[in-house]
Amino acid sequence: MLVSVSGAIIAAGRGERLRPAVGELPKPLVEIGGQTLLERQIGLMLNAGLSPVHVIVNSETARLAAARGLKFHEDVVLSVADTPNSMESLLRLGEQIRSEGFILATVDSVIPRHDFMEFVERSRAAIEAHDGCDGMLGICRWQGDERPLFVTRSSSGFITSFGEQEQPWVTAGIYSFNSRIFDLTDAARQRGLNALRRFLALLLEHGMRLKGHELSKVVDLDSGDELAQAKAWLEDAASAKAGR
């Protein structure tokens, strides 16, 4: 039986570390491959058949997007809120999400199109299977990026812990969840959790089962060097495709 699966994008942060390299532009409006990071994530989700796509941005991004004439697809549900952290951004999105499951991405995770589509397909199948899996996290090999969230997994692929101790695998900025994770909204706020990574740990603590899905490559855009890396990577991928 098919279930409804929507999309969700967290794009409400200020992106302070990247600003010096992009003329103080908010991260969602930084362009890569001829489109803004926000447009890229929305496009990937719509092309994967996710609808609606819920997006949360801060007031600065909303103001500049309007000034630049940025138009969003009719299936995009835009929320504007100056949330204090990524966890609160997710919980605000949860107030709007009505589907049984959803795919969540951070705006600054540049993921290859084929990896993105495969993740959505695997996630949709898991949601439809009702097999007791509460979610799936994209993971990739640690490439030395700052402040990674390391993960450990069981032999069956389920995540057993999150932490700062170095492991081969880290979270990759794309997730799928059953919407029942929002049953823990009050618990998260009562504890004063202040980051998405801490909310993920709370999910494990409450017995939710999350699987790790390996991605080939992800660039997490936090600096000018990483922006240059992502641009070069996409250009190489486009050239390779054109040369086939």
Domain count, the chain: 1
pLDDT at 27: 93
Cα three-residue angle 68-228-117, rounded to 5 degrees: 75
CATH number for 71: 3.90.550.10
pLDDT computed for residue 1 by the predictor? 47
- Is the separation of the CB atoms in 172 and 111 below 8 Å? yes
41 is in which domain, residue-wise? 5-242
pLDDT at 75: 97
Residue 73 has what pLDDT? Answer: 95
For the chain (length 244 residues), average pLDDT per consecutive 10?
A: 83 85 88 93 96 97 96 96 96 95 95 94 85 91 88 95 94 95 97 95 96 91 80 70 57
pLDDT confidence of residue 244: 54
